[in-house]
Amino acid sequence: MTSRALGVVLVVAVVLTAVMAFRWRDISDFEYHNAKAELIVEQPLAVMQEVPNFLYHVLAGVPPLPNVSVGFRGALVMTASTVFSAWLLFAQLVRVLPERSRRTELLLVGFVLAFTLAAPINLFTPQNLYYGYFPTTVYHNPTTILMKPFALGAFFMLPRLYDAGFRSARPYAWLVGYGLMTVLGMLAKPSFIMVALPALAVVTLYRLWKHAYVHWLLLIGGVVLPALLLLVYQTLVLTSPELGGGIYIEPLRTHFEWTLHYDKQADQQLLEKLLLSIAFPVLVFVLYWRESRKDMLFLLAWVMLGFGLLYSYLLVDRIEIAAGNFIWSAQIAVVLLFAAAMRLLASQPLAAWGWRGGTSLAVLGLHLLAGFYWYYLHLTVSYENLIWGLW
């Protein structure tokens, strides 16, 4: 039964994503990154210095193929990334299902569809749908789309770092696995690891205080050490004297910069926009408080979001402030928060859902409704009208 649901999920994800991917493959941020992908073979060092998270450029540009454009390959990368993300969430939901039935099969399909398309409940600000919000779904940024499956995969693996029952007979194989997920995810985009590291530090310190188990080999060797080494490299590259720039604490500077470039409402109603971006996981956390406070994955996602919001509201990258590079950490934290909330909800017996489950699904439905509208706009409205008229 679950194989049928998985088939539906993958087919829907492929169709929806491929249509959008080929619509956006040569515009917006794709235009910049595709140009770098075309240079990755001839000038690899130059590209890696300008774009230290170069995994997209390698996948889209190496090896160069005759009669196959970088934009076409980029669209395939976007499609594969989104479909793989859908599969990862599906697999997690199946693991926690307390029962298997036609109803749970529909639940699986609905959750993954919502995860793939959901948007902030931005229907109350029809002329400001993007700036100030934290969307779980973006279509214009290839590195963010590519980061998503790596962030999900790493996120779902993190609780094992604190699971005393996890005793692998091949610890070094797991070490390689954690290390590869960390490195590849950072080469896609470092936004996830920037919230994961401080969140892991908080959890680890708490567990030390409680004298609880920590898998030090995987934590240090598989996550912390490779992440720190790559972060040092990426930071040095992005703040080199040739490029200028640097990281500064300037509260809400990015949002103010957006008002100058794109939308005068970008720095307005920020608290409301945040709450409307995370309405579903907030409601699940409140209504399922007893279950939520015991869910390591859900709690870890909240800590990550806390650090992501600090970056978003306080820090700027002066190389290009309006690019909002620190916003992406909160954005991916919101993605993971939705995944964790869905996982917790899916783990509850359907017979016990009652009004709590129904209310949670209703709010998720509002996110999905906004997501359908978001999808429709990106499919039918020109990029120029979107960025200066609706975003």
Among the listed residues 95, 217, 228, the one whose alpha carbon sits nearest the alpha carbon of residue 156? 95
Q: What is the pLDDT of residues 141-154, one digit of tens each?
A: 999 999 999 999 99
Structural domain harbouring 92:
2-390
350, 352, 358, 359: CA torsion to nearest 10:
-140
The pLDDT assigned to 318 comes to 80
Q: Into how many domains does the chain fold?
A: 1
242 pLDDT more than 70: no
The pLDDT assigned to 245 comes to 61
- According to DSSP, residue 294 is labeled T
User: ∠352-166-189 over CA atoms, to 5°?
Assistant: 85
Contacts of 252 (CB under 8 A, 6+ apart): 267, 270, 313
Q: Find how far residue 136's CA is from the centre of its chain.
A: 7
> What is the arithmetic mean of pLDDT over 254-272?
92
229 pLDDT more than 70: yes
Of the CA atoms within 13 Å of residue 327, those in its CB half-sphere come to 23
373 pLDDT more than 90: yes
Q: Quick one: tokens of 343?
A: 């996982």
Backbone Cα Rg of the chain: 20
The pLDDT assigned to 166 comes to 82
The pLDDT assigned to 161 comes to 94
Cβ proximity of 203 and 302 under 8 Å: no
Cβ proximity of 222 and 174 under 8 Å: yes
The pLDDT assigned to 323 comes to 83
Q: What is the pLDDT of residues 306-334, one digit of tens each?
A: 999 999 999 998 878 888 889 999 999 99
Q: Quick one: tokens of 25?
A: 């493959």
This prediction's pTM: 0.95
154, 158, 160, 164: CA torsion to nearest 10:
160
Percent of the chain surpassing pLDDT 90: 75
> What mean pLDDT is reported for the chain?
92
**Beta-carbon count within 10 A of 127 CB:** 10
- According to DSSP, residue 104 is labeled H
273 pLDDT more than 60: yes
- According to DSSP, residue 75 is labeled H
- The model's confidence at residue 2, banded by pLDDT at 50, 70 and 90, is confident
Q: Does the CA dihedral 168-173-175-180 come out positive or negative?
A: negative
C-alpha 182/C-alpha 352 separation (Å) is 38
The pLDDT assigned to 237 comes to 73
Assign 3-class secondary structure to 352-371: HCHHHHHHHHHHHHHHHHHH
Q: What is the pLDDT of residues 97-110, one digit of tens each?
A: 998 888 888 999 99
Among the listed residues 381, 388, 389, 384, the one whose alpha carbon sits nearest the alpha carbon of residue 20? 381
Q: What is the pLDDT of residues 38-80, one digit of tens each?
A: 999 889 988 888 888 999 999 999 888 888 899 999 999 999 9
